Chains A and B, each alone.
Chain A
Amino acid sequence: MTSTRTSQSMTDRSVNFQPAAPAVRAPSPYPPAGGGGTREAPSRRALARIPLLRTLRDGSGFDVVLVLCAVGYLLVFAAFPLAYTLVMSLQQVDMFSLASFDRPFAGLDNYRDVFSRPEALQILKNTVIFVVLSITFQLSIGFGLALFFQQPFPGATYIRGVFLAGWIMPALVVGAIWKWIFAGDFGVLNYLLTSLHLTGGKIFWLSDPDVALFAVIIANIWLGIPFNMILLSVGLAAIPRDLYEAAEIDGARAFRRFRHITLPLMRSTLGAVVALGIIFTLQQFDLIAALTQGGPANASNVAQYWSWQMSFQTYEISAGSVVAVLMIALVILVAALYVRSTEREHAA
């Protein structure tokens, strides 16, 4: 595949197609660099001789500072809660010993306790199903909608905006509404399904252990569509139109164009959206709290809700921390995979 970047056509990303323009070097908006004369792009060896301050402004020092600011900020505000949780999972924590670090050491006892609970296996299984199905459908529906709204038709860009509703509505409200939609006796979904004769009787979406998890997943997919759709729309809009034109002229059909142009160029966006989507899904809590509370009988319970139940309902804070640590491990895996996949983003 040719280089993903061409110096051509950083033209207007609007819906209307612009003809390809040959690369034209615009007159430089910059005054000549201080110090007189133009400079060559500094070579690596030259960099090594430039004093530190110069690298900050002009060299790799600049990048380092930028990254350190962000990572530093995160380390200050986000690292110690992680450490705190990890420490708590190894101690015996009671309600009122929260603020001190000086608590009896429990080693791996808490871990043994959590894993030997009968609900552990089911909850972990549910978590995997929850994440996999949520991401798959959020991504495909989001991507489908993004592609759909790229097409030129009147009002496309307006209508696309209303899909933000899922991202804006407070989680408490979303949970309550889906609970009423899914209600077995008086829910709208059952009403529509039975009126359209799509099902025989009423489905008890939330209280039937076989169905409950999927009901929660459906609500979660609804919740995740705006995030996927908007970001993929931006990514799609950044793809130069003339690439498609050229391919069409060459005789490629829609699907081939999608496979060979759209997907590769969207790779970094897709990777980011999937990785973040997985992490968000692992944090999704309010929906389960509102819909089923993990029931019936843990049929729709997932790791993050279980952790909350143990920390904040039965005040078994050590056990809750253990599950949190497990989720951290899972996210480490996802993050590592994502970072690995970014190796191939640098074609240059």
Chain B
Amino acid sequence: MAIHTIDRTAKQIVLTVQEYSLFAGRALMNLFRPPIYWTDFLIQSDIIGVGSLPIVILSGFFTGGVLSLQSSATLSAFGATAVTGQFVSLTMIRELGAVLTGIMVSGRNASSMASELGSMVVTEQIDAMRALGVDPMRKLVTPRVFSTIVMLLFLTIVADAFGIMGGAAVTVFLNHQNATQYFHMAYEHLRYPDIVQGLVKPLFFGYIIASIGCFYGMRTTGGTEGVGRSTIAAVVNASVLIIFVDFLITHVLLSILPS
């Protein structure tokens, strides 16, 4: 009985991964084949990009502040508080800006995509769309994927900038250090590989967030309760996958572009 259950669960996982891969592949390929719904792309860009701006600004600013607080406490033991700016900027740009923005946007938008599309599935709106001769993959999924990829890139840049500013605020107003020194260190030690690393990640994270959110939304079953399950699955899986893919990308990029 136990083996049977394990067997069935394993098959289910493999099947889900297979279905997700096909789904995500189709969503991406649709970017290169007409019809492309540009209006939907702009609408989704507004919802995902502009709509996520406040949470990205706040989380970026306070993360930078916390980094500054924590690092200066440790660095002061070595008399190296002067490098706080370098520490904050490198950490934000290479790692935390992309990952935090990815997770924040995942919490906001993967859930909204899963619940919106899930509700459309259970109320037969997706079937109605198909019956009207419109492909829901092209009309609903591809614009969301494309918008999330593009917007997450810009949101990450915003998070990086506000993170550095948050670090500066703590450094100047709480730690009473020199702002010029902070910004000089933050800028002077940045290298192109650091920036490339920070800007490549959101492209993958955006794809993960939108494709997982839409995937779980489009395979919703079981009425309103099913919509809830899809939403949870989308947020959990997108967040975990972001952290896992972050590890892989960092590993690969560090070997290609050593700092």
Chains A and B bind each other: no
B residues apposed to A, CB below 8 Å: none
A residues apposed to B, CB below 8 Å: none
